[in-house]
Chain A
Amino acid sequence: QVQLVESGGGVVQPGRSLRISCAASGFPFSGYAMHWVRQAPGKGLEWVAFISFDGSNQDYRDSVKGRFTISRDNSQDTLYLQMNSLRVEDTAVYFCARDRTGSSGSLSDWGQGTLVTVSS
């Protein structure tokens, strides 16, 4: 079955960088677009970034543009989110999610999430 396992979260100071990963299995990873979605503690869901199946297209919410980079390694079935210039307001559980199709935007499968805490 589809498995998405995030890793790499932790505590980081404001202004520093962190890269989180999502290891995929149980489906042909290179055939699906992928997303990152975050959830601040006790809050709702917020879409963060999208990458097409082949990595040729990316998109971001405005608040992370220029700071976050989504990428993927289809040879390793892994999705990444490089987060630079982190802010306190980036503190959240970050979920990776598989697109239902090529680029429908619907999130058919989710990982368990990794917590990123930005604090001095």
Chain B
Amino acid sequence: DIVMTQSPLSLAVTPGESASISCRSSQSLLHSNGYNYLDWYLQKPGQSPQLLFYLASNRASGVPDRFSGSGAGTDFTLKISRVEAEDVGVYYCMQTLQTPGTFGGGTKVEIK
């Protein structure tokens, strides 16, 4: 199975500042079609996860443009510019290149 490693484990951010989360995969997520099969999800407290980005950098419907996804191969980044209180929760990356899909361990984002 492809192992997904996220860092940091947790992050405390002042509202209005930016935050960055790293996700690394044990194998390249680049498909022969040119796409990187990496998703980002946010699980807000007490809620189900929600899709933020698919194929590394494609923003899902309704996701504010304060969020951006980037990266390729084995190294990926989720960036939140101008963090707001509603952004708290646990962020997960997930690879969908191979079965089984595998998630990173999660990064907990809190507000200072």
Residues of chain A touching chain B, judged by Cβ–Cβ distance below 8 Å, are 37, 44-47, 50, 59-62, 95, 100, 104-113
From B50, which residue of chain A is reached at the shortest CB distance? A110
Which of B37, B55, B90, B101 makes the CB contact (< 8 A) with A47? B101
Which of B48, B54, B105 makes the CB contact (< 8 A) with A104? B54
- A-B contact list, 10 entries, CB within 8 Å: A44-B92, A44-B103, A44-B105, A46-B103, A47-B102, A104-B96, A105-B39, A105-B96, A107-B49, A108-B54
**Interface contact tally, CB-CB below 8 A:** 57
Q: Interface size class for chain B? A: 20 to 34
Residues of chain B touching chain A, judged by Cβ–Cβ distance below 8 Å, are 37, 39, 41, 43, 48-51, 54-55, 60, 90, 92, 94, 96-97, 99-106
Name A's interface SS: strand
Which of A60, A105, A107, A111 makes the CB contact (< 8 A) with B41? A107
Contact flag A110-B37 (CB < 8 Å), given A44-B92, A104-B96: no
> Are B100 and A45 neighbours in the complex by a CB distance under 8 Å?
no
